[in-house]
Amino acid sequence: MKVFIVSDMEGVAGIVKWQQTDGKEEKRAYHEGRELYTEEINAAVRGAKAAGATEIVVMDCHGAGEEWTFNSLIPDKLDPDCEFVVQNDWTEYTEFLEQGVDAALFVGMHAKAGTPDGVMSHTVSGQAWRNLEFNGLSVGETGINAALCGHWDCPVLLVTGDVAVCREAKALLGSDLTTVAVKKGLGRFSARQFPPLRARPMIEDGAQKALQDLRAVPPYDPGRPCEIKIEFTTVDRLVEYRNRRGTEPAACVAVPAGPPGDREHRVPRVRERALDRDLASAQEGGPVALPRLADGDSDAVALVAADLLRVGAVEHVVREREHVSRSVGARAVRDRVGRCVLDHVDRARIALTIVSRRRIHSREDEDAGGDHRRQSQRALHPALLDRSTG
């Protein structure tokens, strides 16, 4: 029996802070996190061996930063009966799946972005990504990795992490999925947890139990073709994606983050006047100047910029910076095709949606003339569009 262990750090017992998962500064907390992480992987390996696994490969999917990205496991403390992969890009390694794997076990997983009781919840990038959807269904990293495995008919039989991700995984993959919750979120950075010495036997038992029935959970298929929709937290993220093959801007949404007030009446008026004037200027081939706004009107600035980006009518936008107050904190920048985005807006949050319309090939579509499986896997996996995974 061949078993693929896909791992992440945020769902490990004892880990609740970014310092424990961030390798950029190599703080003591990160190395403590590596110890906890490695031992939970060993627990899953022991369980898989007890269930009869003859080949076990571990793939670290945690983006710790710098040289630690996808490289947070401690090699000389890993169970010698497994092999492990250090990859350069998330989902770069697919050879084991292509050869045929009986089951996948997900260890140390976290809930998707926006989950109220999810410990360290995020999707791919806690700073950049707001939401991810496969054909209209919101998913997190569990869904991303399950779709990767499912493409090669590999079922996910175990998910470990906090209560929130276990709930999310069952809702996505089915009630027969084996889950092991090692902590319960009290907030994004706090949790009631089992001590690691108790959590590890739970994971070992869970892995052994999950592998008793390889057909308990069918391989996950998000649908074919699959439309991948990504919502970002800030407009400037659009620059990274706009010209990539298979993507297109689908919507611009401004979410006011400040307290309600007369902006609810003022913003639409400012927006309407600015848009009319700016579109007229753009049609004449001239630059577009965002209006001079008082403090508290950054929502209007964001909305105007979103409108201009959506209609695609401008070559560039110029902001009269001497009239930009510190509380607004926005500046216009140009990307490589001359379109404008806002670097950031303190009091308004912009979510941009990028849609991939590439077709996900079925096995029947494959032929000896091309590696369609790899192409479809890359089309499916949104992390390949964003190299800063988490």
Same domain, 16 and 57: yes
The reported pLDDT for the residue numbered 205 is 99
User: Are both 43 and 179 inside the same structural domain?
Assistant: yes
Same domain as 286, residue 152: no
- Does residue 107 carry a pLDDT above 90? yes
Please tell me the predicted confidence (pLDDT) of residue 68.
Answer: 81
Strand order of the β-sheet with 2-7 is: 83-85, 55-60, 2-7, 103-109, 156-162, 178-187, 190-193
pLDDT at 34 over 70: yes
Tell whether 369 is covered by a domain: no
pLDDT score of 343 more than 80:
no
Q: Is residue 366 part of a domain?
A: no
Sheet strand arrangement including 348-356:
137-138, 129-134, 228-232, 348-356, 247-256
Q: Looking at 290-334, list the stretches that DSSP marks H as alpha helix, in order from N- to C-terminal side.
A: 298-311
Alpha-carbon distance of 237 to 344, in angstroms, equals 10
Closest of 114, 119, 64 to residue 87, by C-alpha: 64
Residue 118 has a pLDDT of: 96
Query: Burial letters for 26-37: b for 16+ Cβ neighbours within 10 Å, e otherwise?
Result: eeebbeebbebb
In this prediction, residues 31-53 reach a mean pLDDT of 97
382 domain-assigned: no
Q: Clarify whether residues 198 and 300 are in a common domain.
A: no
Strand 190-193 relative to strand 178-187: parallel, antiparallel, unpaired? antiparallel
Query: Average pLDDT of 58-84?
Result: 91
More confident residue, 10 or 242: 10
| Domain match, 205 and 59 both | yes
pLDDT digits 0-9 by tens, 142-194: 999 999 999 999 999 999 999 999 999 999 999 999 999 999 999 899 999 99
Whether 11 and 110 have beta carbons less than 8 Å apart is answered as: yes
Q: Looking at the structure, tell me whether residues 37 and 75 fall in a common domain.
A: yes
- pLDDT band at residue 235 using 50, 70 and 90 as cut-offs: low
Domain assignment of residue 289, yes or no: yes
Residues 213 and 244 in one domain: no
Helix (H) or strand (E) holding 180, with range, is: strand 178-187
Q: Which residue has the tokens 């496991």?
A: 73
The answer to whether position 363 is within a domain reads no
Answer yes or no: is pLDDT of 256 > 90.
no
What is the percent of the chain with per-residue pLDDT over 90, rounded to a whole number?
A: 48
Per-residue model confidence (pLDDT) at position 299? 45
Task: Report pLDDT digits (tens) over 180-230.
Answer: 999 999 989 999 999 999 999 999 999 999 999 999 999 999 998 888 888
User: Is there a single domain that holds both residue 20 and residue 138?
Assistant: yes
364: in domain = no
CATH of the domain at 120: 3.40.50.10780
Could you tell me if residue 390 is inside a domain?
no
Token output for 162: 């906090």
Is the peptide bond between 225 and the residue preceding it cis, with omega within 30 degrees of 0?
A: yes
Tell me the backbone φ, ψ of residue 19, rounded to 5 degrees: -60, -25
The pLDDT assigned to 296 comes to 41
Residue 157: which H helix or E strand, with range?
A: strand 156-162
Residue 216 and residue 331: Cα distance in Å, rounded?
A: 53
Same-domain check for residues 241 and 300: yes
Q: Are residues 88 and 166 in the same domain?
A: yes
What does the pLDDT read at residue 149? Answer: 96
Domain around 123: 2-223
Residue 384 is assigned to a structural domain of this protein: no
Q: Are residues 303 and 349 in the same domain?
A: yes
| Mean pLDDT value of segment 316-321 | 35
Give me Rg for the CA atoms of the chain: 23
**Domain boundary residue among 223, 238, 260?**
223
Tell me the range of 186-200, 225-239, 286-300, 349-363 where mean pLDDT is highest: 186-200
Q: Which residue has the higher pLDDT, 355 or 72?
A: 72
CA diameter of the chain:
73
Shared domain for 59 and 170, answered yes or no, is yes
* pLDDT at residue 341 in the model: 33
Q: Which tokens is 44 given?
A: 């899953």
The total number of structural domains that make up the chain? 2
Q: What pLDDT is recorded for position 248?
A: 66
pTM strictly above 0.85 = no
Residue 366 has pLDDT above 50, yes or no: no
- Does the pLDDT at position 48 exceed 90? yes
> Which residues, including other chains, have CB under 8 Å from residue 241's CB and lie 6 or more apart?
230, 247, 354, 385
Using the 3D structure, point to which of 171, 200, 223 is the last residue of a domain: 223
pLDDT interval class at 106 (50, 70, 90): very high
